[in-house]
Amino acid sequence: MTTEHRSVSDQVMQTFASLRLTMAVLILLALVSIIGTVIPQGQLPPEYVASIGGEQGNRFRLYGLLGFFDMYHAWWFQGLLVLLSINLLACTIKRLPHVWRIATRPDTTLSSAQEAAATCSVVLDLPESINRDRLTAAVTAVAGRPVVTEQDHELHLFVQKRPWARLAVYGVHASVILIFIGAIIGNIFGFKGFVAIPEGDTVSSFTDRKGQERPLGFELRCDQFTVSFYDAPGGGPSQMPKEFKSILTLTENGKEIPGYTHARLIVNEPLTYKGITFYQSSYGNTGNHTFTVGTTRLTVSSEETAHLPDGSSMHLIEAVQDVSPFLPGKSGPAARIDVHPANSGPAVTLLSLANYPEENKREAARLSLPIITYQGGTERPYTGLQVNKDPGVWVVWIGSLLMCIGLYVAFFLPHQRIWFRFGHARLVIAGHTTKSQAAFRQRLERIEQELKATLQQEEKP
Amino acid sequence: MISGSLMNATTIFYMLSTLAFFIYMAGRNKQIGLAGSTLAWTGFAIQTVALGLRWKESYDMGVGHAPMSNLYESVVFFAWSIVLIFGIIDAKYKYRVIGAFVMPFALLGMTWGQLYLPSDISPLMPALQSNWLTYHVISCFLGYAAFAVACGVSIMYLIKAKSEQKGDEAAGGILSVFPPTRVLDDLNYKAIMVGFPLLTLGIITGAAWANYAWGTYWSWDPKETWSLIVWFVYAAFLHARFTKGWVGKRAAWLSIIGFAATIFCYLGVNLLLSGLHSYGGM
């Protein structure tokens, strides 16, 4: 087949299996991946949207059109990953059969082509009287048991080490595909979600990433949630959290599940039941609080924003029912709140105390706001759990393991072959290695020296 | 604390070692080259003791953890890893002059850590309380260190290749102590052959840990993404050897770009971008 008459499919194969494509795809992937580390992904902070000229601006629309706000799932990025996979597969289809043949059916005779391609070779002059058995015994002693072939009145002896190491690079390539498959399985058959459970409450469903409620298939109760702190250097607790801990009980149709009653869940120690895993991911307080703003009474829930009569809005940061541990000399309920003015100016933070109206008045005057008085409230801690099922994760780990082993073998365990050809009183030794040539040369030199010592003199009668 | 004083001593040894290698490069006095290596090894031994002591000191304080949990500890461990990888190559190949291009990285790390970063031993926040921390950090930083050595060797390659092109090789001078480009190219490849599997292991242990702590092994967080960018660059480097038109200078440039991306992944992401690894910042 001449190049002009190559079939189209051949040319396509040639392109997809080319290393130039590999280089192009890898460099392109490296370059475009930067975009998503500079432009925020997913939920966009309003300040960012404003900084690029607002949602009506050209930049926002262009970025949106190009999928820059979710670029790792954009068609062109996924397309590059698909191209990488096709490239890997095409390379494997093109090269594996040849490598497989080298690994499984080695050339046991030394051809002149092989001799030319050898990493190193030497010629020894030996007495013509040396026979097959003596040569084989000598080679076995220094290099391992050889395959012996007689061809054209010449003796060919062949030894090799680790022919399977040739396949390692294909193991690495397969591992990339395996990891992709694991990720796809996880995406199709798995889910990720979140559930917040106030202390003492029971839930039987969670919210997935699309905001939909999904049943767990069992019930989950939060018995307790606690935060513990490290000791401060001078004694007493510091501000540095040591442990976030939920005590959970799982039930099925109201019956407690053995091994899952009062089970402990902390960060880095997830809890798995029926393929669903729970991770300690956040916490907070939930409840209702009463404020008076000017003359209006207002009920504010712990984590929501409440609108004030003048158009501004307020947000509760934290509230306590007894302020004395934090403000010595004071007592009663206290709340720290953020107020966002109606004219979208900067937010202000203020402290409101139930028992000290004078202080609230002063704060109001200082910030030119209506007087805000915290009346008190009820609060319970809640635990926030990441809920996750990923049946593909094991495929990803198997792929990862294969990649590590494959890289190690491909880089550090060379396939070494040594041929010995004896005829007309000459022994040609030729060796080939895929890696670590210096060490291999030393091995070959040692073999040469030892063969010289045992074979170069005539056999004594 | 004793470990702090030993770290200062380490910095001084690395400085002297760097100086010795510079003088060796200029004067080609073999004794001074040997002194450079000896100083580097001595500094390394002192630093190893210092790291061990810091580890022990954290247990004495009741907040025991491997000394790899904040920016100071990581930069010190990075310096240690660079000297380790350089030391192995130095012992194996004996091209002393490479020290002049690698030890400055270790010196820079130690100086920054000792002079500008808070070095208190602090307790671990809940997300970091995991054995994965140690495995993840060790594999990542040994990988980074191998890339640092590869970068130093690549810079030497480019300088040497330029002089070979001009043909002033016979003139001698500083460049005559440089190994031939063929050797530099080979060392570059060898260092990356060590670094790439370690980086891969670092990414995988990071993914395993993320899966354990948060339930996702990959979330395209900027740190994760940059580690993958570094991986792509070195994967390209490894394939460049077999690709027409990519051998030699281009491969050396890939190695340098790879290390620049590594440094951005390590520092730039924490200092300039936001994400899950925010505790690594100052």
Q: Could you identify the residue written with the tokens 């090789």?
A: B169
How high is the pLDDT of residue B167?
A: 67
* Beta-carbon contacts of residue B47 (< 8 Å; ≥ 6 apart): B6, B7, B10, B76, B79, B80, B83
**Averaged pLDDT, A266-290:** 90
CA gap A433, B31 in Å, rounded: 37
Whether residue B65 contacts residue B121, with contact meaning beta carbons closer than 8 Å, is answered with no
Chain A residues close to B244, C-beta within 8 Å: 20
Task: Summarize pLDDT for A393-412 with one digit per residue, the tens.
Answer: 999 999 999 999 999 999 99
Instruction: State the angle between helix axes of A132-143 and A437-455 in degrees (0 to 180), rounded to the nearest 10.
Output: 140
**Residue contact B236–A26, C-beta within 8 A:** yes
Q: Could you identify the residue written with the tokens 């309380």?
A: B129
Chain A residues close to B127, C-beta within 8 Å: 267-268
**What does the block give as tokens for A202?**
């029971």
pLDDT above 60 (res A459): no
Amino acid making up residue A346:
P
State phi, psi for A219 to the nearest 5 degrees: -110, 150
Tell me the pLDDT band of B63, cut-offs 50, 70 and 90: confident
Sign of the torsion formed by the C-alpha atoms of B35, B39, B40 and B42:
positive
pLDDT above 60 (res A461): no
How many angstroms away from the CA of A270 is the closest CA of chain B? 7
Tell me the pLDDT band of A26, cut-offs 50, 70 and 90: very high
Which among B279, B267, B282 is positioned nearest to B65, based on CA atoms? Answer: B279
Q: Which long-range contacts (CB under 8 A, 24 or more apart) does A108-112 make?
A: A108/A147, A108/A149, A108/A156, A108/A158, A109/A149, A109/A151, A109/A156, A109/A158, A109/A419, A109/A421, A110/A156, A110/A158, A110/A419, A110/A420, A110/A421, A110/A428, A110/A430
Comparing CB atoms, the residue among B214, B228, B242 nearest residue A281 is B214
How high is the pLDDT of residue B279?
A: 45
Comparing CB atoms, the residue among A38, A183, A388 nearest residue B215 is A388
**Averaged pLDDT, A221-239:** 84
* DSSP assignment letter at B80: H
> SS3 for chain A, per residue?
CCCCCCCHHHHHHHHHCCHHHHHHHHHHHHHHHCHHHHCCCCCCCHHHHHHCCCCCCHHHHHHHHCCHHHHHHCHHHHHHHHHHHHHHHHHHHHHHHHHHHHHHCCCCCCCHHHHHHCCEEEEEECCCCCCHHHHHHHHHHHHCCCEEEEECCEEEEEEEECHHHHHHHHHHHHHHHHHHHHHHHHHHHCEEEEEEEECCCEEEEEEECCCCEEEEEEEEEEEEEEEEEEECCCCCEEEEEEEEEEEEEEEECCEECCCCCCEEEECCECEEECCEEEEEEEEEEEEEEEEEECCEEEEEECCCEEECCCCCEEEEEEEECCCCCCCCCCCCCEEEEEEECCCCCCCEEEEEECCCHHHHHHHHHHHCCCCEEEEEEEEEEEEEEEEEECCCHHHHHHHHHHHHHHHHHHHHCCCEEEEEEEECCEEEEEEEECCCHHHHHHHHHHHHHHHHHHHCCCCCC
Q: How far is CA A320 from CA A120, A189, A324, in A?
A: 81, 44, 10
CA gap A188, A74 in Å, rounded: 17
Q: Could you identify the residue written with the tokens 């012992």?
A: B91
* Beta-carbon contacts of residue B227 (< 8 Å; ≥ 6 apart): B140, B199, B202, B203, B206, B265
How many angstroms away from the CA of A280 is the closest CA of chain B? 8
**What does the block give as tokens for B53?**
């002591």
pLDDT above 60 (res B137): yes
Chain B residues close to A280, C-beta within 8 Å: 126
**What does the block give as tokens for A288?**
């209702």
How high is the pLDDT of residue B168?
A: 58
Give the residue on B whose Cα is nearest the Cα of A437.
Answer: B186
**What does the block give as tokens for A331?**
């007592």
Whether residue A278 contacts residue A265, with contact meaning beta carbons closer than 8 Å, is answered with yes
* Beta-carbon contacts of residue B188 (< 8 Å; ≥ 6 apart): B150, B153, B154, B157, B251, B252, B255
Task: Summarize pLDDT for B177-206 with one digit per residue, the tens.
Answer: 888 888 999 999 999 999 999 999 999 999
Give the residue on A whose Cα is nearest the Cα of B194.
Answer: A411
Tell me the pLDDT band of A1, cut-offs 50, 70 and 90: very low
**Averaged pLDDT, A43-66:** 84
Helix, strand or coil for residue B151? helix
Helix, strand or coil for residue B216? coil
CA gap B266, B270 in Å, rounded: 7
Give the residue on B whose Cα is nearest the Cα of A32.
Answer: B229
CA gap B17, A370 in Å, rounded: 68
Q: Out of A206-215, B6-15, B194-203, which region has the weakest mean confidence (pLDDT)? A: A206-215
CA gap A281, B211 in Å, rounded: 12
- The pTM (predicted TM-score) of the whole model is 0.87
Chain B residues close to A386, C-beta within 8 Å: 214-215
Q: Which residue has better confidence, A436 or A61? A: A61
How high is the pLDDT of residue A460?
A: 53
Q: How far is CA A100 from CA A95, A157, A168, B49, in A?
A: 9, 21, 11, 49
How high is the pLDDT of residue A35?
A: 92
How high is the pLDDT of residue B280?
A: 46
Q: Does A22 touch chain B (CB under 8 A)?
A: yes
Chain A residues close to B212, C-beta within 8 Å: 268, 270
CA gap A291, A69 in Å, rounded: 39
How high is the pLDDT of residue B170?
A: 53
Identify from B63, B88, B205, B238 which residue to disrupt to test chain A contact, counting A C-beta atoms within 10 A and taking the largest count. B238
CA gap B52, B1 in Å, rounded: 13
pLDDT above 90 (res B157): yes
**Averaged pLDDT, B89-96:** 90
Q: Out of A52-61, A199-208, A257-266, B135-144, which region has the weakest mean confidence (pLDDT)? A: A52-61
**Residue contact B197–A266, C-beta within 8 A:** no
**Averaged pLDDT, B74-101:** 94
Q: Does A168 touch chain B (CB under 8 A)?
A: no
CA gap B225, B234 in Å, rounded: 14
Tell me the pLDDT band of A4, cut-offs 50, 70 and 90: low
Q: Does A277 touch chain B (CB under 8 A)?
A: yes
pLDDT above 80 (res A157): yes
CA gap B197, B142 in Å, rounded: 10
Tell me the pLDDT band of A51, cut-offs 50, 70 and 90: confident
How high is the pLDDT of residue A185?
A: 97
Helix, strand or coil for residue B218? coil
* Beta-carbon contacts of residue A354 (< 8 Å; ≥ 6 apart): A332, A333, A334, A373, A374, A375, A376
Whether residue A392 contacts residue A184, with contact meaning beta carbons closer than 8 Å, is answered with yes
pLDDT above 90 (res A319): no
Q: Does A231 touch chain B (CB under 8 A)?
A: yes
CA gap B2, A427 in Å, rounded: 65
Helix, strand or coil for residue B277? helix
**Residue contact B229–A30, C-beta within 8 A:** yes
Which among A1, A76, A62, A3 is positioned nearest to A33, based on CA atoms? Answer: A76
Amino acid making up residue A251:
T
pLDDT above 80 (res A458): no
How high is the pLDDT of residue B277?
A: 53
Q: Could you identify the residue written with the tokens 């400055």?
A: B104
Chain B residues close to A72, C-beta within 8 Å: 220, 225
